[in-house]
Chain A
Amino acid sequence: MMILFLLTSFFVFGEVQDPHWDHIQEVSDRHEFLKSNESITQPQDTWQTLFSLVYVDQNVQKVKDCIFFKVPGKDPGTLKIKSIPYDQLCDTYLLNHGDKEFKGIKTLQFSTSDEEVIISYSTMDFKSKNLTALLQKKDSPIVTTMHLSSAEYRHPKVLFLASKLIQGDSSKQSFKKDHEICHNIDEDCREISPSDCSDCERGWYEVPNGCPKGPKYCGIQNCGRQNAPACRRGLKWQRKEGVFDCQLDSSFAYCSKGLSIQCEGRKAFCR
């Protein structure tokens, strides 16, 4: 009997899962406390958001599969998968019906690595099952070398699209507006918020302030012209000391011939 029990419990079944799980872009919405490779046993009889798997749908919109788990207690556990638009919170759907549900779970754990995410669970009838999602790897590391193209730098050469279509909010403003700040650097060179200049539809421009990285804004603004921001000259000319006065040293920027640099605070403009 013992042998038979052991035999049964060592059979591991791969669940049939959506093909788009072979091309996951990133893992998001990670649970704050639940850890990889640890059986989830607490808090019993509650729904928890484990994480979400982000991919791109047929309309080239980012979407995600939220992975929820009802921790077994009085009742067996349930694994629930729900596909939602990328910009929405998984927790909003915590108590909704899933697109897929796996009930009768006795124990569950997950493991994540750079290459894959595996959800392993065993059922009340002693069957072990695995769900595996593969993360799409970058073709090249983000190391800039000669002959690298911008397409390869920012993305794998091929972007797989899931056959799914998830309806998002079409009214949402998805690009940042022209001249809206996209990388906020203060006058003391502190990064107030990380760059989201890739959200600018038509590129971005920088207003040099003597810092190694100056504040950036979406859209087009030709530098060096009259009343426009001065042009950035390069890192060699940026300030290296804490004490800095744009009025005394403006070599970090330049203007078109015939114009001179005027400082507004530490930002350089051409007059």
Chain B
Amino acid sequence: MKRHSDNSIIPKIILILCSLSILSIILLFLRPQENVRTKKKRPKSNEKLFSQVIKASIPSILKLWEEGDRSFPEKGVQCHDEIDHQKEVGLSYYQCNPHFWQCYWQSGTTQFPALEIDLYGQTFHVVARPSFNAIAEYSPSSRFYDLFKRASSDTDLNYGYIVELAVKEIPGLFQRMILTDTCRDTYLPQRIYGYGRPKERQDEGFIWDNFGRDLFIDKFYVTNRQLNEWRIFKGESSKVEPDRKKWPLPALISKKEQIEYCSFYGKRLLEAKIFDAAAMSPTDIKNPTPDNIDRPDTPWQRDLSKTFLGVARINPDYQLTPLDCELAQVKGCEIKYFSTDSVTWMGFHYPLGFYPESLENFIEPSKNLKLSSHLLDPSSPWHQLGKLSEWKSTERDPLPVAFRCYEEVTL
């Protein structure tokens, strides 16, 4: 009896196990969703495929936008309405530059502009579309971008450039997006800073700190190109600078307009104490709360006497070298714009020399001008950090005074 019973159960168990195994295999086979996600199977719908190609193209799009200098052809560009390149303009001018974007897509740098994206074993060609109205002040052609300035508090983004992308291999679908200006300003690290030059060695002078504050400072002067955009937003077409050669140059406007320009973008005209903070290299960058706040004479050498400016004060016949002029463009230097060798410890340009620069000063209001500039001989005593003059900004004032903005961001 017992043997008989064993014989009848075993086949049943085997049958159940076999059924379960087959079912498991089938179920494993029919669970493709996880695999789809990991292997990134080509989507069946064109919409999904388009979306994925656009997403994959973002690094290339950003490279073209943020590193326009790298795409700038050696033989120059063929887009005279957008760019009239002069040799004295450094290529960093073309970073996050909407005119370079326009030039690239209207075949000003290469005959068939497209970004090649390899995905799912196929090469897709992502292109920008001329979907936006012409800006009469620039050219009669349709634009490959539109200026954006926020009109409501819906987005944190103050301004940017709207573009529309398409994929040649997937017709009929478009994606709009805003490219932000990531090239304009740079962060001021949180630490204790000194302002100006104390009268005596023992005097620590005015010190302050920006702990808990997120300050971002324009790297370069505000240009005519940027000012033009502001004029267009304000409907002041007649004031748009028509000379393309002047677009990379510093915007030279009254102090009232400088303040208006900065506040239009939620920014402020640069303050003297923040200028000093950006220009004066800390003795120990790793220690944000040092006991003594040093005031270096120049951004690249603490002691002025060891620099060409110090030597020029002793020797009136000093011959400027190209390196001197890269550090601080003073009288006698060849004029250059968007040169990058004058950069300070935190990414700020033109701390000495170049243009006179307008500043707000709430500590000593009459000291509102960085006078050190290409207008003064290298031996001038104004070529020293912490030395400021006064600018009254009258209509008759012939002094070409540049400016830049800063912003305190709170999220």
Contacts and interface: CB of A to CB of B under 8 A. Distances in A.
Note whether A and B form a binding pair.
yes
Contacts of A160: 175-177
A80 interface: no
A60 B409 contact: no
A150 B150 CA distance: 15
A148 B192 contact: no
A147 B347 contact: yes
A145 B58 CA distance: 23
A202 B410 contact: no
A235 B211 contact: yes
A61 B289 contact: no
B162 interface: yes
Contacts of B23: 3, 6
A159 B178 contact: yes
Contacts of A174: 151-154
A104 interface: no
Contacts of A82: none
Contacts of A86: 154
B155 A150 contact: no
Nearest to B406: A150
Contacts of A158: 58, 61-62, 177-180
Given A10-B30, A149-B184, A157 B62 contact: yes
Contact of A154 (B173, B360, B411): B411
B160 interface: yes
Interface residues of B, number: 72
A146 B410 contact: no
Contact of A147 (B26, B48, B187, B192): B187
B176 A58 contact: yes
A232 to B, nearest CB: 8
A185 to B, nearest CB: 12
A250 to B, nearest CB: 14
Interface in A244-271: 254, 256-257
Interface stretch (B241-249, B259-267, B327-335, B374-382): B259-267
A179 interface: no
A144 B187 contact: yes
Given A7-B30, A160-B175, A161-B176, A153 B214 contact: yes
B347 A16 contact: no
B182 A224 contact: no
B208 A146 contact: no
B363 A254 contact: yes
B263 A231 contact: no
B407 interface: yes
Interface string B246-281: 000000000000010001101110000000000000
Contacts of A7: 26, 30
Interface in B11-57: 23, 26-27, 30-31, 33, 45, 47-48, 50-51, 55
A179 to B, nearest CB: 14
B86 to A, nearest CB: 26
Contacts of A212: 212
Contacts of A145: 187
A153 B268 contact: no
A60 B173 CA distance: 19
Interface in A92-129: none
A7 B237 CA distance: 68
Contact of B155 (A60, A183, A213, A224): A60
Contacts of B157: 151, 154-155, 159
B319 interface: no
Max chain B C-beta neighbours (<10 A), residue from A61, A158, A197: A158
A175 B153 contact: yes
B186 interface: yes
A133 interface: no
Contacts of A203: 263, 266-268, 407-408
Given A159-B180, A233-B208, A149 B26 contact: no
A197 B408 CA distance: 11
Contact of A175 (B152, B162, B187, B189): B152
A201 interface: yes
Interface stretch (A34-42, A66-74, A215-223): A215-223
B27 A10 contact: yes
B84 interface: no
Nearest to A3: B23
Interface in B211-229: 211-212, 214, 216
A152 interface: yes
A10 to B, nearest CB: 5
21 contacts: A144-B214, A149-B182, A149-B184, A149-B186, A150-B409, A153-B411, A154-B157, A155-B155, A158-B179, A158-B180, A163-B174, A174-B154, A195-B411, A196-B153, A202-B266, A203-B267, A203-B408, A222-B362, A224-B363, A225-B365, A236-B192
Interface of A: 3, 6-7, 10-12, 16, 19, 22, 56, 58, 60-62, 86, 130, 142, 144-155, 157-161, 163, 174-176, 183, 195-204, 212-213, 216, 220, 222-225, 231, 233-236, 254, 256-257
Given A6-B23, A198-B153, 18 more contacts: A10-B31, A19-B48, A19-B51, A22-B51, A62-B155, A146-B186, A147-B187, A151-B181, A153-B216, A157-B182, A198-B411, A202-B264, A203-B407, A213-B212, A223-B362, A236-B192, A236-B209, A254-B208
